[in-house]
Structure 1
Amino acid sequence: MSAHVTSSPAASRPTARGGLLRHHDFRWLLSGAAVSQIGTQVTLVALPLVAVIGLHAPAFQVGLLTAAETAAFLLVGLPAGAWVDRMRRLPLLIRTDLVRAVAMGSVPLAAAFDVLTMIQLYVVALVTGVATVFFDVAHQSYLPRVLPREHLVSGNGALETARSAAQVAGPGLGGVLVQILGAPAAIVANAVSYLVSAVCLRGIRTREPRPEAVPGVSLGAQIKEGLAFVLRHPLLRMIAVSTGVANFFSAMLVSVQTVFLVRELGLPPGVLGLMLSGSAVGGLTGALCAGPIARMVGQARVIWLATVVSGPFALLWPLAGRGAAAIWFAVASAAVFFGAVVYNVAQVSFRQLLCPDALLGRMNATLRFMVWGTMPLGALAGGAIAGAAGPRAAVWVCAAGFLLVPLPLLLSPLRRMRDLPDPDQDAAPPAEPAPDPADGAARPPSVTT
């Protein structure tokens, strides 16, 4: 593998004729993301079924498992960004894929020797979650290194298309694998997908220079710099609040949906997987339509409009029943997923354009902390409500919560804008870090170009 170092993707920029798929490095990045996303979606079905069917866990313990998967965003989300900005991102992506492969591979191994417990599932979920925090922050921060600015929206759209396609194929595949092999054996697919992702990432030629250490600047100061960048920008701040609310109630749904679909609606694993695959068609459609919709209505307007239009469909979730009435769950999920993906493509692309490269890790980690840190809280709340009042009551609360998602966006300057401002002119600069007595010297101002 070549050791060539390049500080920008200009040498391998996609041409109008070739398109993104002819861009060597992006092709490998996209391939790895697509394969690992399929494995992740298989586990989305298989891991809760290990708890529900294999270990007969009650609703609260299943909710706790979901909380463990996302707790890392709350526990290490902020320092992860500062650490990522101190490292080369590509080697970090490969290492975290390998950690996730080993953690997931331990589940079918323990099940084969009949020693699998809920404690191990919690540990695996937590370890995988920590690795995912670093992977996701590094991945979002690495994309602008691979693609030039003018192709970021298309690149994010392609990644969302791969994610949404995996959400269509993965759950159905997971349900079939669980039906045939059992839930623990199905998780092998996820472990293998992380290994394949690591191999794909090794095929990327773009190499980053090692980030230069800034003398006298502590980890805490770099974390504060990322926080200041996000909190002082009026658009990023309200996007973070809205996304955090959406993720709180999404995690609530994920924590109870397996219990709801299996015990309330009586779906077998294979049908459950097909139900989730069918509902993910909305996300795939949203990924394919995100670019044209943004161009038609405006990149700023589409951010709040997507949530306003899709959110009310969540009220169909708790109306699902046994037999044919179960279809309402899939219809609601398809509509909500459509809006969520259109929203994500627009706002993530804006974030990447807005932020200087040296601050990307901290900006993404700060936003991940704010918007994904709500997920373990939502999962715990869902498990608690389902344990006390039943899974359908938890789904009702989740559905009502989705109506709140657009409110922060409608109260922000986005409501009066068609397109997003030019990041070079309107980005709010981060605050200059204050001297830290422990450093023994005042810190130099940060580079924000």
Structure 2
Amino acid sequence: MADDSPGAASEVTAPSSRGAVAALMFSQGVGVAGTQVTALALPTLAILLLDAGPLAASLVFALEYGIQGLTGPFAGVLVDRVASRRRLLIAVDVVQLLLVATVPLAHAVGALTLVQLYAVAAVSGALGGVTAIAVPTVVADFVPRDGLVAVNAKLAGARSAGQIAGPGLAAALVQAVGAATAMVADAVSYGLSALAMSLPRLRRDEEPERAAARPGIADSLREGIDVLRDQPLLARLAVAAAALNLGGAGLGGLFVYFAYQVVDLGPGELGLTQAVYSIAAVTAVFTAKRVVRRVGLTRVIPLFGPLAAGALFLIPLASLGAALPVLITYQLVFGFCATVWSVSWVTLQQRLSPPEQLGRVLGLSRSIGQLVVPVGALLGGALAGAVGTTGALAVFASIALAGTLAVAATRSQPALPGAGRA
């Protein structure tokens, strides 16, 4: 990782570094937008073309997140071992392109099956986990400490742009050309991402070669676990992220049903609340550096995590009246606070983890957070049947809040190197 010397601070403005950041932003934005197409197309194909039932269709979603969680630690080992993390990102994009392209090809020759859809969801999910781990390590390779918050915020902004544009693009393509053909757009997005990452040339010292002597996989994983054990702050953050994901998955699975059936919103009103979330997230992206500089990196975490989780209680509270204003307030608070929290969390992981073990720390932390997503999604429907939709929403909000409060002790953490600068 780059140091905090005065000379290092200027490196992020070097043309090669600016080109690398721009390439990462484009890659993240176009990748997220393209992924939205496949996220809609796979279950559409399973249900409408292959007559999958509710459980079989939900397995597509569960496989993607479940496999990411299971393979996360091993993806972290891979990221720490490769000689060039940027070339790894390019290779993953190329494999993703070929993988996604198998669906429209199989459909064209009448050979598409549920097994293939499950395989594509699982393998694509695992590869997506590699990308999610590799990107922050690439950033840590060439961005100095005082530039991490700004670059992480830019990448979050690129992902937000993809999330805003992606669902509309996905729906339009699926409607216009069919679900299978629409997936060609996702394959193209991976090709564009690989091309963008191949253009900038980082200086040799910005992407250091990994050590030739490498321990076995078990020892490598143990080293990553040791980092989490020696850095209790990172372990608490992983628990908090898992709690937010568990609560968010349960809430997310019930939110549309709650909006339509419990508080009587129409599609336009629901879309308005989601637009507010996007606006809040983008606002957080542009102000994250200023917020972190003013509040302090280690103080942002225990403040914004519980604020984001606390906002989740506004969803069940909307059942008491004034549903639209209450849900707009929820999206506003949650979108801003969760985005600042996420940017700060990634930055802390980059600062506190040894550079040669950052991939494993990210992989282990991501695994903890990803494994709970399908659990939360499946529990949501079951719990709603037992205690009602509003009661289930309150339970999941409580889980998220309890988990984020686990980081309250981070206020006592010693100052980080360079923590006075954002």
Is TM more than 0.5 here? yes
Distance 1:330 1:142, change over 3 A: same
What pairs up with 1:238-317 in 2 under 5 angstroms? 238-255=236-253, 276-317=274-315
In structure 1, C-alpha distance between the alignment counterparts of 2:99 and 2:178, rounded to whole Å: 18
Look up the match of 1:132. Answer: 128
In structure 2, C-alpha distance between the alignment counterparts of 1:289 and 1:41, rounded to whole Å: 26
Tell me the CA shift for residue 114 of structure 1.
5.4
Tell me the CA shift for residue 346 of structure 1.
1.1
In structure 1, C-alpha distance between the alignment counterparts of 2:100 and 2:148, rounded to whole Å: 32
Which secondary structure does the structure 1 equivalent of 2:81 belong to?
Answer: coil
Look up the match of 2:161. Answer: 165
In structure 2, C-alpha distance between the alignment counterparts of 1:404 and 1:313, rounded to whole Å: 13
In structure 2, C-alpha distance between the alignment counterparts of 1:74 and 1:148, rounded to whole Å: 30
Q: Which moved more, 1:120-129 or 1:182-191?
A: 182-191
Please, which of 94, 100, 112 is the counterpart of residue 98 of structure 1? 94
Which secondary structure does the structure 2 equivalent of 1:343 belong to?
Answer: helix
Contact residue 60 and residue 386 of structure 1 kept, 8 A: no
Please, which of 66, 69, 89 is the counterpart of residue 71 of structure 1? 66
Tell me the CA shift for residue 408 of structure 1.
0.5
**Percent sequence identity over matched residues?**
34
> Is it true that 1:120 corresponds to 2:116 in the alignment?
yes
Tell me the CA shift for residue 262 of structure 1.
8.2
Look up the match of 2:183. Answer: 187
In structure 2, C-alpha distance between the alignment counterparts of 1:59 and 1:326, rounded to whole Å: 30
Which secondary structure does the structure 2 equivalent of 1:214 belong to?
Answer: coil
Look up the match of 2:172. Answer: 176
Tell me the CA shift for residue 180 of structure 1.
3.4
Counterpart residue identity of residue 197, structure 1: S
Q: Deviations over 1:92-135 (max 9, x none)?
A: 11111122222323334444555544433322111111111211
Please, which of 217, 220, 224 is the counterpart of residue 219 of structure 1? 217
Counterpart residue identity of residue 186, structure 1: A
Counterpart residue identity of residue 170, structure 1: G
Structure 2 gaps of 5+ residues are: none
Tell me the CA shift for residue 395 of structure 1.
4.5
Distance 1:249 1:172, change over 3 A: same
> Is it true that 1:26 corresponds to 2:21 in the alignment?
yes
Contact residue 244 and residue 309 of structure 2 kept, 8 A: no
Structure 1 gaps of 5+ residues are: 1-6, 426-449
Which secondary structure does the structure 1 equivalent of 2:134 belong to?
Answer: helix
Q: Deviations over 1:315-363 (max 9, x none)?
A: 3445679xx9678656534432321110011121121122222111112
> Is it true that 1:84 corresponds to 2:53 in the alignment?
no
Counterpart residue identity of residue 33, structure 1: Q
In structure 2, C-alpha distance between the alignment counterparts of 1:221 and 1:23, rounded to whole Å: 36
Which structure is higher in helix share?
A: 2
Please, which of 36, 40, 55 is the counterpart of residue 31 of structure 2? 36
In structure 1, C-alpha distance between the alignment counterparts of 2:184 and 2:272, rounded to whole Å: 19
Tell me the CA shift for residue 49 of structure 1.
4.5
Tell me the CA shift for residue 52 of structure 1.
5.5
Counterpart residue identity of residue 250, structure 2: M
Counterpart residue identity of residue 212, structure 1: A
Which secondary structure does the structure 1 equivalent of 2:313 belong to?
Answer: helix
Look up the match of 1:367. Answer: 365
Tell me the CA shift for residue 218 of structure 1.
1.8
In structure 2, C-alpha distance between the alignment counterparts of 1:118 and 1:318, rounded to whole Å: 36
In structure 2, C-alpha distance between the alignment counterparts of 1:327 and 1:111, rounded to whole Å: 45
In structure 2, C-alpha distance between the alignment counterparts of 1:257 and 1:56, rounded to whole Å: 25
Tell me the CA shift for residue 78 of structure 1.
1.4
Distance 1:114 1:164, change over 3 A: same
Look up the match of 1:413. Answer: 410
Distance 1:255 1:198, change over 3 A: farther
Q: Which moved more, 1:272-281 or 1:397-406?
A: 272-281
Contact residue 35 and residue 193 of structure 1 kept, 8 A: yes
Counterpart residue identity of residue 152, structure 1: L
Contact residue 80 and residue 360 of structure 2 kept, 8 A: yes
Tell me the CA shift for residue 239 of structure 1.
0.9
Tell me the CA shift for residue 159 of structure 1.
0.5
In structure 2, C-alpha distance between the alignment counterparts of 1:261 and 1:57, rounded to whole Å: 26
Q: Deviations over 1:221-279 (max 9, x none)?
A: 111011110122121111111111111222334455577778887977x9987764553
Which secondary structure does the structure 1 equivalent of 2:210 belong to?
Answer: coil
Please, which of 376, 396, 416 is the counterpart of residue 422 of structure 1? 416
CA RMSD of aligned residues (A): 3.8
Counterpart residue identity of residue 221, structure 2: I
Contact residue 104 and residue 188 of structure 1 kept, 8 A: yes
